[in-house]
Chains A and B, each alone.
Chain A
Amino acid sequence: AQKVTQAQTEISVVEKEDVTLDCVYETRDTTYYLFWYKQPPSGELVFLIRRNSFDEQNEISGRYSWNFQKSTSSFNFTITASQVVDSAVYFCALKNPRSGNEKLTFGTGTRLTIIP
């Protein structure tokens, strides 16, 4: 069975502070993909990043960075110098590509509020 845990339900930080969103996953598969999505108030899930299980390199995209550690089954997401536009609910998700289908298993999400 697959499971994604986002222990932080809600986080509030003051603008320009750095913030890290935690994601811990469980899977028996050796091949899998991890994702982060952002859900603004409009409701649409916006794709942020995909990482496969064989690539543990950290990734940086502007103010966003991701730290993937297989040893701790974690895929954490850091926003540097946060901005009010970063306020949203963020979801971590897991997919088993060998299942032959597209099913994503989501965490419960972390609501991030950036205080101006």
Chain B
Amino acid sequence: KAGVTQTPRYLIKTRGQQVTLSCSPISGHRSVSWYQQTPGQGLQFLFEYFSETQRNKGNFPGRFSGRQFSNSRSEMNVSTLELGDSALYLCASSVSLIGGGGTVQNIQYFGAGTRLSVL
């Protein structure tokens, strides 16, 4: 079974530009989450999509957005790039089964990430 695939692996952009990152989850996985990893802030949750709907959102400005398609593939977009947006962006997917008591009992599997550099 193929793992989580993120494209592109590397990106270089300049301030003010916008960027779109793509994530293809493991086949059969319906949940896709995005995380930003920086040396200063560590791993921070951006948002999660499930069945084409945003289910949760982290504490990031509105310049960060995402969407999920009917085949569960997801994209995230960052508009008006700032130097501080330079980071490794990781995508994770899970089956997202609902267990007893409405609990979400899943393991998230991560892609290799997209390393974004903003100059």
**A residues with CB within 8 A of B:** 31, 33, 35, 37, 42-47, 50, 52, 91, 95, 97-109
Contact = CB atoms under 8 A, between A and B. Distances in A.
A106 B104 contact: no
Contact of A106 (B42, B88, B106, B112): B42
Contacts of B99: 97
Contacts of A100: 55, 102, 104
Interface size class of chain B, counting residues whose CB lies under 8 Å from the partner chain: 20 to 34
Contacts of A99: 56, 104
Interface of B: 31, 33, 35, 42-43, 45, 48, 50, 55-56, 58, 88, 90, 92, 94, 96, 99, 101-113, 115
A95 B103 CA distance: 11
A97 B109 contact: no
Contact of A31 (B88, B90, B103): B103
Contacts, number: 76
Contacts of A101: 48, 50, 55-56, 104
Given A31-B103, A44-B113, A104 B55 contact: no
A42 B88 CA distance: 11
B115 A104 contact: no
16 contacts: A31-B103, A35-B107, A44-B112, A44-B113, A45-B90, A91-B43, A99-B56, A100-B55, A100-B102, A101-B104, A102-B48, A103-B33, A103-B56, A104-B108, A106-B35, A108-B42
